[in-house]
C-alpha cells in the first residue's frame, strides 16, 4: 500500500523544512522542534462543542487538564493522553483530535497535561494519569481512557494498573498507534524506520531511554507488552497506521487482548503514518478514524451507563 497522496505531500513538505530527528536532539531541542512543526501546520478545524475549559485537578501534584464538553446529553468521560514520546507534547498537541473525539463520541474528553521525562521519569506521567482517572470516576458516569503514541502507552498502562489495584473502574480503552514494546524488533520497525515517516526506531529508542531507561524492559506498567496476561481488561479499540514503526506492536497487543477474551477492535489505517490523527480536516482517513473511535466509545459508554452525566 502506498502513502495516501495528501500524507505523501505532507511528508515531502516536512522533508523540505528539514526538521531534526528527535534522536539527534536534547529534550529541549526536541520540544522546540515539535513546536516549530506544529507552528508550520495550518490550524485544524474542530467540530462545535458546548465548552472547552482548562483547570487543575487532583493534588499530588495538581494536574492541568483541558475538558471538552460535547453538545447534548453526555454519555461518559474519556481521559485522553497526548503523544510525544513522554518527552514532548502538551495539551495543544492533542487539541484537535481530543475535540473531535468529544463531538463524535458524545463524551466529555479530559485531556491530561502529564509531567514529562526526563525531568519527571516513570512513573510520574502514569501517576498523573491515574489521579485524573480517579477524579473523573468520582464525578460519576463511565470512564474510558484514550491516547496516541506515548499516550496510548499510558492508556494501556492505566488499565493494567487499575486491574492490579482494584480500580478505578475503566469502561474502555482507545489505543492509537500505541508505544508498547521497547524491544522494537518487529517487521514494521525494520521496514518503516528507514522510510523516516515522522518516527524512526532510533527516535523510539531515545524516547524509551528518557522515559524509563533499563526499567522499560522489566515493568509491564512501562511496557504493557510485558504483561503476563491481559485477562480482565476493558474493551479495546486499537488503531494503527500502515506506514508506522509501531504498527506491529499495536496489532500484536490487540491479538493478545482478543486471545485473553477482551472485546477488541483492531483498525489498520492504510496509507497512514505515525501521528496521522493530527491531520484531522486535511486527510479524510484521519477524520474517518476519529469518527470510528467516537462511535465505538459512544457505544461502550452507553452500555456501561446511559447518559447519566448532566448536559
Provide the 8-state DSSP code for 21. Answer: P
Q: Per the residue annotation, which of 128, 148, 244, 248 is the catalytic one?
A: 244
Domains of the chain: 5-304 (3.40.50.1820)
Predicted pLDDT of residue 101: 98
Predicted pLDDT of residue 40: 65
The answer to whether 97 touches 162, Cβ cutoff 8 Å, is: no
How far is it, in rounded angstroms, from Cα 200 to Cα 264? Answer: 27
Q: Per the residue annotation, which of 105, 149, 193, 225 is the catalytic one?
A: 149
Instruction: Reply yes or no on whether 274 is catalytic.
Output: yes
- Reading the block at residue 136, the C-alpha cell is 473523573
Cis before 168 (ω within 30): yes
∠ at Cα 155 (152, 160), nearest 5°?
Answer: 125
The number of angstroms, rounded, from the C-alpha of 229 to the middle of its chain's C-alpha atoms is 22
Q: What is the mean pLDDT of each run of 10 residues along the chain (311 residues)?
A: 93 83 94 81 84 94 97 96 98 96 98 98 98 96 98 98 97 98 98 95 98 92 98 98 98 98 98 96 96 98 67 38
> Is the full-model pTM beyond 0.85?
yes
Closest Cα to residue 199, out of 21, 66, 1, 20?
Answer: 21
Where do we find the cell 469502561? Answer: 171
Predicted pLDDT of residue 311: 38
Q: Which residues of 124-141 are buried (b: 16+ CB within 10 A; e: fewer)?
A: bbbbbbbbbbbbbbeeeb
Half-sphere exposure of 170 (CA within 13 A, CB side): 32
How far is it, in rounded angstroms, from Cα 79 to Cα 247? Answer: 23
Closest Cα to residue 79, out of 103, 60, 59, 101?
Answer: 101
Q: Which residues contact 105 (CB under 8 A, 6 or more apart)?
A: 70, 75, 78, 293, 294, 295, 297, 298, 301
How far is it, in rounded angstroms, from Cα 179 to Cα 201? Answer: 11
How far is it, in rounded angstroms, from Cα 236 to Cα 217? Answer: 24
Predicted pLDDT of residue 177: 98
Predicted pLDDT of residue 164: 97
How far is it, in rounded angstroms, from Cα 115 to Cα 61? Answer: 10
Instruction: Reply yes or no on whether 244 is catalytic.
Output: yes
Predicted pLDDT of residue 45: 83
How far is it, in rounded angstroms, from Cα 155 to Cα 165? Answer: 15
Instruction: Reply yes or no on whether 267 is catalytic.
Output: no
- Alpha-carbon dihedral sign for residues 260, 155, 204, 220: negative
pLDDT tens-digit series, residues 63-110? 999 999 999 999 999 999 999 999 999 999 999 999 999 999 999 999
Amino acid at each position: 500500500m502506498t502513502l495516501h497522496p495528501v500524507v505523501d505531500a505532507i511528508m515531502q513538505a516536512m522533508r523540505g523544512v528539514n526538521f531534526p530527528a528527535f534522536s539527534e536532539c536534547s529534550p529541549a531541542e526536541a520540544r522546540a522542534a515539535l513546536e516549530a512543526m506544529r507552528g508550520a501546520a495550518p490550524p485544524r478545524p474542530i467540530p462545535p462543542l458546548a465548552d472547552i475549559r482548562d483547570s487543575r485537578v487532583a493534588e499530588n501534584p495538581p494536574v492541568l487538564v483541558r475538558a471538552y464538553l460535547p453538545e447534548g446529553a453526555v454519555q461518559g468521560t474519556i481521559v485522553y493522553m497526548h503523544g510525544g514520546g513522554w518527552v514532548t507534547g502538551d495539551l495543544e498537541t492533542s487539541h484537535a483530535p481530543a475535540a473531535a473525539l468529544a463531538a463524535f463520541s458524545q463524551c466529555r474528553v479530559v485531556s491530561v497535561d502529564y509531567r514529562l521525562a526526563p525531568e519527571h521519569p516513570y512513573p510520574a506521567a502514569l501517576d498523573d494519569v491515574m489521579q485524573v482517572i480517579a477524579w473523573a470516576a468520582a464525578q460519576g458516569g463511565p470512564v474510558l481512557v484514550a491516547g496516541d503514541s506515548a499516550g496510548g502507552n499510558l492508556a494501556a498502562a492505566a488499565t493494567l494498573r487499575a486491574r492490579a489495584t482494584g480500580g478505578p473502574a475503566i469502561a474502555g480503552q482507545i489505543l492509537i498507534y500505541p508505544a508498547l514494546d521497547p524491544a522494537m524488533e518487529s517487521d514494521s520497525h525494520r521496514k518503516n524506520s528507514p522510510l523516516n515517516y515522522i518516527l524512526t526506531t532510533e527516535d523510539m529508542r531515545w524516547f524509551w531511554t528518557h522515559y524509563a531507561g533499563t526499567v522499560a524492559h522489566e515493568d509491564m506498567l512501562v511496557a504493557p507488552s510485558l504483561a503476563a496476561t491481559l485477562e480482565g481488561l476493558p474493551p479495546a479499540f486499537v488503531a494503527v497506521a500502515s506506514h508506522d514503526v509501531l504498527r506491529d506492536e499495536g496489532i500484536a497487543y490487540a491479538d493478545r487482548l482478543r486471545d485473553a477474551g477482551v472485546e477488541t477492535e483492531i483498525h489498520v489505517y492504510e496509507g497512514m503514518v505515525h501521528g496521522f490523527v493530527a491531520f484531522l480536516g486535511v486527510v479524510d482517513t484521519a477524520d474517518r478514524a476519529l469518527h470510528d473511535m467516537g462511535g465505538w466509545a459512544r457505544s461502550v459508554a452507553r452500555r456501561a451507563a446511559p447518559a447519566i452525566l448532566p448536559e
